[in-house]
Structure 1
Amino acid sequence: MRIALHQSQAQPSTAGSGGLASLDGAAGQAAARGARLLVTPELSLAGYALDDPARSAEPAAGDSAAAVSRIAAEHGVAIVYGYPERGEDGAVHNSAQLVGPDGIALANYRKTHLYGPYEAKHYTPGELLPVQAELDGVRLGLLICYDVEFPEAVRAHALAGTDVLLVPTALMRPYDTVAETLVVARAVESQLYVAYANRVGREGEFDFAGLSCLAAPDGTVPVRAPGTGEALLVADADPVALRASRDRNPYLADRRPELYPR
């Protein structure tokens, strides 16, 4: 599966129609480069540093979802995008939705591990893990940013059969080591691909680290963006290489869960 990662900068002032225009351009470029799937950063449509995310929150099947579905179908590329979701009970979640290349929504995930006082103030954590979908015979999983820093969350995906873990991200400086080291370790220890799409530049008090990447289960990084500047990266997640790596590194088969009580 050829995957595109859109490392982008978006100020809150460019949310809404501006965010959709940026997404449309990225989807067109991704499709032209042969990508089947485009992954964008955390809260890619709304912007991260919002004074009140509740003002931008909308249902999973809201206007933004309809617009993204049109973009996905027009370019024939699946899209993962981030947005503030208003749940059925009125709670606001930091969410990511996967839309298929035909424009049909495949999965919606609410961030389960909220980072720092800003997110804790504005969002309610999700309670469902793992969230998965199938595309072209590949099992895709969703996490958001801080989630991937918890080995238990990634291992839950591995045990559920996730092949490629899609992680919209808003990693800030000075935590570059998360993108450079920890994401790669997660791919190796749980034997899956990790597609990590980060923001870049400043929003309010936050300075985003960039360094978007695709990390492979053999410990290699087929593609990585620099720490500054927007970029559209394209690389392949190879199911044959994944199976071979799992044969060589049987971490999941060799686990002894009876020794790991709750």
Structure 2
Amino acid sequence: MESKINVIFRSCDIVNAVHNAPRPFDLDKKTLIKICFKSLYNSLKDYDYTITVLGDNLSDEMKQFFSKFDLKLIEGVYGNDKSIRETIKIAEQFNDDEWVYFCEDDYLHKPEAFQYIIDLIKNKERIVPGKIKIKQLLRKREITLLSIKRFFSKPNLIIHPCDYPDRYNLKYLSKNFIYHTDLCHWRQITDTTFTFVMQVKDVKKKKKVLLKSSYRANDRYLSKKMYGRSFFFKKFLCLSPLPSLSTHMHVETMSPLVNWKVLVDKISKEI
């Protein structure tokens, strides 16, 4: 049975960027949202999904744009922190075995993004953190002296579809687990923004952490409390794709190895 994906797309067009970071390709915020949303919509079209747009003080232009799609639009005046809390309330309404994609409005998605994400979800039972092993070479043979599991129960997955360029900087390099499915390589990561995919039952289980992290949009607290690094006791294994399936549309954080301008130009003709 194919996994159902419930997208909660958090959108606000009155603020260009929370930290005033410049946008790529000279895009204004409204055009950027339209392109990012259409790219996400295109990547979902062959799968079982719902879309809820949480509109924070949306302009009439953006309301009209979203009205063209099969989705649920929830409007209000929230601010960044409260809008995160609202998405958690929405996510609780879905069935436990379904998945929810918390998505900010400035992530551009490749057409195959959800093909690869759903493939990972289908194969998640074979994605297991490796044991710690202490070995000794004895007469040209390696003998395992000690083997330690990194978890009591197998950790579930959280998926961050974006590969950030700073993960290749020397000061951020660290040992990570690398996995592959039939379609893609995946790397363990230990930090994300508020854009990620997780199972609904896990949202309910970690509701307190998710709500607390929403204050001042504290994604560092979120990452510290949610994602395992070397051990996974009560924490998740968080994975991102290699190469990236999406990019955060800030000039300084564009994911490497993908010509995003070609995709932007293509989708610009569709909106």
Report the TM-score when normalising by structure 2. 0.31
Flag the structure with more relative contact order, 1 or 2, with Cα contacts below 8 A and sequence separation at least 6. Answer: 2
Report the TM-score when normalising by structure 1. 0.32
Q: Which has the larger radius of gyration?
A: 2
